[in-house]
């Protein structure tokens, strides 16, 4: 809970704001808004010292208008039912915005992962998967977990392995979990996907001269100043892609401190320092800031909150100086702080679109697992031969010769990672145009978040219509 209204209520406020711009049947809207299923789990876990601890966990399936439902599993101390429900509903709208054919779900285990050994985390993850399976809350066509805050490939490999051992006659068992290591049916590019999606989404916005003008900004990413809050999987990759595209990441904030360099931080160096010391503080070529708030409140072009919800609230919104706030995390701006930013004409690129890169590439991974073939395996060589024939044709017409090196570079067929990146780029670019068009169609009263919710609701309504319910 935050302030007076809970996270789930905040999501529903955004939903209710959007439905005012639609004329859908209110009974159907009630069905879309409500969370269909929530399961609370409590199970014992044996610690390394032999003691037993009771762990609490949740899985919420918000909407089954498409199956499977999909969403991450987070490990954090403040996980609670309201949060899981809110995040599951965001997943439903997120999937609809980027045309990923899943319903929304989310799970959480209430633990501080730093307090557990690797073996203990494995026992917790495997036991949770077992409980999910017992309650039919996991399966390639039912509900497919993925990484989220506090979880990653390791946890997903334990989940997939546990599910597979419980369902060893299911040929598609590996499709029950995404975000797995490549050796276990994962896909190249999933790890970086959310951060890369954030980059693609912001790049789309920044390429639009009409949208940049009122912010007093030029088009393009190059030269823009960026502050990233949260240097986990999402924040790190987003920072890396911004920096590679020529933006200056002038500050990074983490839970234990913040660093700055007005000329732009070296992201690889900060990451290396963090790997060695477990903290970004004192990273080379940087100055420590007095607090993480000092980073968030810095004057910059793009602020990227990339950790947890409720980072920009009524308490600090007046001190936010960024021209663009790019919601890489889920729910980092409270509903009322969002209104303040809107009134001040700050461009907020909302979570429900911007961090959909993770679930988009999860969708590609799920497809790969169901088809049992790596993307690019069938066509890579064919493409290379076709490009070579074309280049030979150019040589014949121009009577000039390409060097063997040039031929190799120009005729290279796509690897799995290239295809994943291009599919993600296409998804983020197309969805941005769709939500921007909706926003323009509505005019001054709507921001991009409201446009996202309208686009999502329209698509889910259509889906219920196709099922013959509320025709
Ligand atoms: N946890 C990520 C999210 O919130 C990814 C979900 C998924 O891949 O299913 O979008």
Q: Is the CB of 327 under 6 A from ligand 1?
A: no
Q: What is the band of 361 on the pLDDT scale with cuts at 50, 70, 90? A: very high
Q: What is the band of 229 on the pLDDT scale with cuts at 50, 70, 90? A: very high
C-alpha of residue 214 to centroid of ligand 1, in Å: 33
CB count within 10 Å of CB 264 equals 17
pLDDT score, position 445: 81
CA distance 241 to 237: 6
CA distance 337 to 309: 12
Tokens of 269: 């160096």
Q: What is the band of 1 on the pLDDT scale with cuts at 50, 70, 90? A: very low
Q: What is the band of 469 on the pLDDT scale with cuts at 50, 70, 90? A: low
pLDDT score, position 94: 98
pLDDT score, position 188: 97
CA distance 73 to 43: 16
Please state the pTM of the whole predicted model: 0.95
Q: Could you give all domains of the chain from N- to C-terminal order, each with its CATH number?
A: 37-184 (3.40.50.10860)
Tens of pLDDT along 244-277? 999 999 999 999 999 999 999 999 999 999 999 9
Nearest to residue 163, comparing CAs of 420, 371, 369, 374? 369
Q: Is the CB of 233 under 6 A from ligand 1?
A: no
Catalytic residue among 17, 66, 94, 106: 106
CA angle 110, 94, 10 (to 5 degrees): 60
Segment 61-86 mean pLDDT: 97
Segment 271-300 mean pLDDT: 97
pLDDT score, position 2: 44
C-alpha of residue 238 to centroid of ligand 1, in Å: 15
Instruction: Judge whether 70 counts as a catalytic residue.
Output: no
Tokens of 212: 């940049």
Secondary structure of residue 408 in the 3-state scheme: helix
Reply yes or no on whether the pLDDT at 69 is more than 80: yes
C-alpha of residue 408 to centroid of ligand 1, in Å: 37
- Nearest-atom number in ligand 1 for the CA of 355 is 10
Reply yes or no on whether the pLDDT at 464 is more than 90: no
Q: Is the CB of 190 under 6 A from ligand 1?
A: no
Q: Is the CB of 337 under 6 A from ligand 1?
A: no
Segment 230-240 mean pLDDT: 97
Q: Is the CB of 355 under 6 A from ligand 1?
A: yes
Tens of pLDDT along 384-401? 999 999 999 999 999 999
């Amino acid at each position: 809970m935050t302030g007076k209204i809970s996270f789930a209520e905040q999501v529903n406020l955004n939903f209710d704001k959007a439905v005012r711009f639609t004329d859908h049947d209110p009974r159907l809207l009630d069905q879309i808004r409500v969370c269909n299923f929530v399961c609370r789990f409590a199970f014992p876990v044996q610690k390394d010292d032999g003691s037993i601890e009771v762990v609490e966990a949740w899985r919420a399936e918000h909407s089954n208008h498409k199956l499977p439902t999909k969403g991450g599993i987070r490990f954090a101390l403040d996980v609670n039912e309201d949060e899981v429900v809110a995040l599951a509903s965001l997943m439903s709208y997120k999937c609809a915005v980027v045309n990923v054919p899943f319903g929304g779900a989310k799970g959480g285990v209430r633990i501080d992962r730093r307090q557990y050994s690797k073996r203990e985390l494995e026992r917790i993850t495997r036991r949770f998967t077992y409980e999910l399976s017992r309650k039919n809350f996991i399966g390639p066509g039912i509900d497919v977990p993925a990484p989220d805050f506090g979880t990653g490939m390791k946890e997903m490999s334990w989940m997939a392995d546990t599910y597979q051992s419980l369902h060893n006659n299911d040929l598609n068992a590996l499709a029950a979990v995404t975000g797995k290591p490549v050796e276990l049916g994962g896909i190249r590019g999933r790890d970086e996907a959310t951060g890369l999606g954030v980059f693609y989404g912001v790049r789309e916005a920044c390429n639009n001269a009409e949208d940049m003008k009122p912010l007093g900004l030029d088009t393009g990413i190059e030269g823009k100043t960026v502050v990233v809050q949260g240097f986990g999987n999402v924040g790190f990759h987003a920072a890396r892609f911004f920096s590679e595209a020529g933006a200056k990441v002038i500050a990074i904030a983490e839970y234990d401190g913040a660093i700055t360099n007005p000329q732009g931080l070296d992201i690889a160096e900060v990451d290396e320092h963090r790997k060695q010391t477990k903290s970004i503080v004192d990273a080379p070529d940087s100055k420590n800031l007095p607090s993480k708030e000092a980073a968030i409140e810095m004057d910059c072009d793009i602020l990227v909150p990339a950790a947890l919800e409720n980072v920009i609230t009524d308490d600090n919104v007046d001190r936010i100086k960024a021209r663009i706030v790019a919601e890489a995390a889920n729910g980092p701006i409270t509903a009322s702080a969002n209104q303040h930013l809107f009134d001040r004409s700050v461009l907020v690129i909302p979570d429900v679109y911007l961090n959909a890169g993770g679930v988009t590439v999860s969708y590609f991974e799920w497809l790969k697992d169901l088809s049992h073939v790596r993307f690019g395996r069938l066509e890579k060589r064919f493409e290379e031969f076709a490009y070579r024939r074309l280049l030979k044709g150019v040589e014949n017409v121009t009577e000039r010769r390409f060097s063997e090196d040039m031929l190799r570079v120009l005729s290279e067929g796509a690897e799995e990672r290239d295809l994943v990146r291009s599919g993600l780029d296409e998804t983020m670019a197309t969805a941005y145009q769709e939500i921007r068009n909706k926003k323009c169609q509505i005019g001054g009263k709507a921001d991009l978040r409201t446009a996202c919710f309208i686009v999502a609701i329209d698509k889910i309504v259509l889906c219920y219509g196709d099922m013959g319910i509320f025709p």
